[in-house]
Amino acid sequence: MGPHRTAALIASALLLSGMPVAGQQVGWHYSPQPGEGDRASMGCARGSDAETFTCLVVRCEDDFTTGVHLYTSRPQGGLGAWEMTLDRETRQVEVLPDAAPYHGRVDDADGWLLDGLRHGTFAYLRHMADTGSGFAYIDLTGSFRAIEEALYWCAPRTPPAERNGDPDVGPETKNGEMQ
């Protein structure tokens, strides 16, 4: 058995050995939700696991816009008002129903949250009805790269009328022959 085959078998064994897969784990990674693939990046709070989690998701929507979603194991769900602190700036945001496979889309009309997730260092959040409980802490280390990778295909599209037409310049010729 050659060294390459041995390495491949060892790698396969490690993958199948029950190692945790990226899911509702701490940090920034692709969303594990079915059908989301590389179109969404998920950042989960410290202490998150498959049963208890609070995550923010930046997603390339079907219409190529960017959406910020909330995904949580909170028994009452994620809809409603949330208090969020990004790098010591606190705001109240609304999480609204949405068709995406998360618990709701964050109303971020001015882009404050998306900008903070890309360029910030930390985020604290909790539902306004849970004032007796602590805040979920999401470390934003690596968020910029993870978000940019998820939004790569979300580049602005131009309507056909605004696209450049075919060039009307051909190759240079002399007496009908190319030079």
* pLDDT recorded at residue 7: 40
DSSP 3-state assignment of 124?
A: strand
Q: Half-sphere exposure (CA, 13 Å, Cβ side) for 22?
A: 15
Per-residue pLDDT of the chain (179 residues; tens, 9 = 90+): 544 444 443 333 333 333 333 456 688 988 989 988 788 999 999 999 989 999 999 999 888 889 999 999 999 999 999 999 999 999 999 999 999 999 999 999 999 999 999 999 999 999 999 988 899 999 999 999 999 988 887 766 667 777 676 666 666 667 766 66
Number of residues that make up the chain: 179
d(CA 119, CA 177): 56
d(CA 171, CA 54): 59
CATH class of 21-155: mainly beta
User: Are the C-beta atoms of residues 78 and 103 closer than 8 Å to each other?
Assistant: yes
* pLDDT recorded at residue 55: 95
Helices (H), the chain: 3-16, 112-119, 143-150
Q: Residue ranges of the domains in the chain?
A: 21-155
* pLDDT recorded at residue 169: 66
